[in-house]
Structure 1
Amino acid sequence: MKICKAMIIKNYRSNIIFILSVILINACSSSLDTKEYPIVYSSKNTQFNMFFYNGNFPIDAKLILNKDKSYFSETCVLNEKGIWNIKGDSIFLSCHERSFKIESMNNVDSLKQALVCRETPTIWIIKSNRIKQVGSNALLFE
């Protein structure tokens, strides 16, 4: 009788460990593989988010990832286009073109430096239904 109980407990523990392992693997894997495109991340300008993130929250920001690996990013001031790549839990955005939302600003000489794309990609970390820009407070939700 004691051997039977010990085997049941051992099998029960093994099953729990297996189930927890499957859940952990699924939680860590990229959810972009199973999404329908385009994938849209945007700021959720709720009072809770503004309070919870101490006001360090992008307003009216949007990131659109297309199936062909192109992206479009929009803030309250700038638009950006480029190519995206994923490695592990990170999205790398390589900018190809930037412009101001207000087109007349694109011709102001003192502002042209803001339109230069970075040589290195911008990195965002994927966490369930949200992404956070590395080195910034930018946080976007799907």
Structure 2
Amino acid sequence: MTKLRLIILVLITSCSSNKIDITGNYKSTASTIDSFFNNYPTGSTIKINIDKSFEREDCAQITKGHWRVKGDSLYLYCDEIRFIIDSLNNNPKYKKGTICGTKPDVFYIDKNVLKRTQINKDGSKLKDYLKKQ
């Protein structure tokens, strides 16, 4: 009987999930000085909802969409993007700023921090670190 209990205990513990709860609110860890000197976006926030939707906001835009986790990465797929200053949303000059890209934004999940380093067209690096609140 003890062997059976031991086998059941081993099966239960080996089948337990090690998934991290990714849902919640995240906020940029960079200060304004970091953003100025090291290419960090300032004031970035992401709200990851349990229904697989998200809302991301920075100093210029609000992005809404859906997400998924694959391995140690969080994929954010844009469904809608708008400028915070509403008059820019209807200005033809800024029309490209309201079109979602075809590729998702990908963040590395490091415990309670989402990390991303993006290389811009000019070769500069944009670092984006957001900590769970």
| Secondary structure at the counterpart of residue 60 of structure 1 | coil
1:56 CA displacement: 2.5
What amino acid is aligned across from residue 31 of structure 1 in structure 2?
A: I
Q: Which runs of 5+ in 2 are unaligned?
A: 1-17, 119-125
Q: Which residue is equivalent to 2:20?
A: 31
For the aligned residue pairs, the C-alpha RMSD in angstroms reads 2.3
| Secondary structure at the counterpart of residue 137 of structure 1 | strand
- Verify the 8 A CA contact 1:30 1:88 in the aligned structure 2: no
Q: Which residue is equivalent to 1:41?
A: 26
Equivalenced residues, count: 108
TM-score of the pair, normalised by structure 1: 0.68
| Secondary structure at the counterpart of residue 31 of structure 1 | coil
Structure 1 vs Structure 2: percent identity of aligned residues? Answer: 30
TM-score of the pair, normalised by structure 2: 0.72
Q: Which of 58, 73, 77 is the aligned partner of 1:94?
A: 77
Q: Which residue is equivalent to 2:40?
A: 57
- Which has more helix, going by share of residues? 1
What amino acid is aligned across from residue 57 of structure 1 in structure 2?
A: Y
Q: Which of 47, 51, 66 is the aligned partner of 1:83?
A: 66
Q: Which of the two has higher C-alpha Rg?
A: 1
1:139 CA displacement: 1.2
- Looking at structure 1, the residues matched to 39 and 25 of structure 2 have their Cα atoms a distance apart, in angstroms, of 21
- Verify the 8 A CA contact 2:25 2:48 in the aligned structure 1: yes
What amino acid is aligned across from residue 41 of structure 1 in structure 2?
A: Y
- Which has more strand, going by share of residues? 2
Q: Which residue is equivalent to 1:117?
A: 100
- Verify the 8 A CA contact 1:80 1:99 in the aligned structure 2: yes
Closer/same/farther in 2, CA of residues 120 and 46 from structure 1, 3 Å limit: closer
Q: Which residue is equivalent to 2:12?
A: none
Q: Which residue is equivalent to 1:16?
A: none
Mapped pair 1:137 → 2:121: no
1:44 CA displacement: 2.9
- Looking at structure 2, the residues matched to 69 and 97 of structure 1 have their Cα atoms a distance apart, in angstroms, of 15
**How big is each residue's C-alpha offset from its partner over 1:10-34, in whole Å with a ceiling of 9 and x where there is no partner?**
xxxxxxxxxxxxxxxxxxx5422xx
